[in-house]
A = this chain, B = another copy of it.
Amino acid sequence: MRIGVLGAGRIGRIHARSAAAHKTARLAAVFDVDAKAAGAVAAETGASVARSMAEIIEDKSIDAVLICTPTDTHADLIEQAARAGKAIFCEKPVDLSAERVRACLKVVADTKAKLMIGFNRRFDPSFASLQRRLASGEVGKPELVTILSRDPGPPPISYIKHSGGMFRDMMIHDLDMARFLLGEEPVEVSAMASCLVDPAIGQAGDIDTAVVTLKTKSGRLCQISNSRRATYGYDQRIEVHGSGGMLRAHNLHPTTVEKATGDGFASDPTLHFFLERYTAAYRMEMDTFVDGVTEGKKLEPTGEDGLKALILADAAEESAKSGKSVRVG
């Protein structure tokens, strides 16, 4: 299996490395508008630098593409790659507009293209293990899901302005995680949000602190808590209270060293951010994509998963504005 990567920025480089390290796949080509970035990835992985994205998409010898370009290009590229018969891995989100996502997924369906969306957290060893054990019934049926997710610090205001807003940009990961864990689709969404971290974020029309509640048809509940800031690192925890017990996954830390003095016991902050925290998850994610394509298995998370998380994000934003819970699905 020969792979081309579109976009050689921070996340493109990670996926390129994972693809290159896969035991059977080969990273064949890379493109980025920044030739230097593409060159660096090529040097590191043995891939060749393509002159354009089209060159990769049209290359018959390439079986799959990894779409790691800016969000507003995702849907177009998915459609092009789908029509070219490529297997597609696309970073979340497909698009910031649910309408656009639906149209794109129609092309995917019509072309019978294979598409997997990059919700990396599903592949974190702890979260994946928790979900498997939950699904196997170890603690009965899920009743209350708690997701705490906080970034170490806010992105630049320039990023905020084109992010689609905190619900679509940041919380979408947690909304996907909620669906992953609840075992049923949410039918009701309620949200509250504030701008507490940086007034400039508010001036840019966004919020930086938000909570959401989801309810499924049978009454399962989920609470999500987000902040754009955590002084102690990247805070990523999940917890499921079920009819027969509770499962939770804690944060990861650089070392296990603990110091005891008169001030008490002190240990490391959490791993700083997603590159450190989800190193294993990114690797597992790409292995899943490659193996899934190779073995002809269903690829998950699907494009539909991407759409559903976006619909929940839209509903959350609407609820935060209206003060009313919003029905979905």
Name A's B-contacting residues (CB within 8 A): 125-126, 129-130, 133, 138-139, 141, 143-144, 146, 148, 150, 188, 190, 192, 194-197, 209-211, 213, 215, 218-221, 223, 225, 227, 229-232, 235, 241, 243-252, 254-270, 323-325
Contacts and interface: CB of A to CB of B under 8 A. Distances in A.
The complex is assembled from copies of this chain, and their number is 4
A268 B267 contact: no
A241 B258 contact: no
B259 A133 contact: yes
Contacts of A264: 232, 266-269
A232 B257 contact: no
Given A188-B323, A325-B190, A246 B230 contact: yes
B252 A248 contact: no
A266 B194 CA distance: 28
Given A241-B150, A265-B269, A220 B192 contact: no
B196 A243 contact: yes
27 contacts: A126-B255, A143-B227, A146-B225, A190-B190, A194-B215, A194-B219, A194-B221, A209-B221, A211-B223, A221-B225, A229-B243, A230-B246, A232-B246, A235-B246, A247-B257, A247-B258, A249-B255, A249-B256, A249-B257, A250-B258, A262-B269, A263-B269, A264-B266, A264-B267, A265-B266, A323-B325, A324-B325
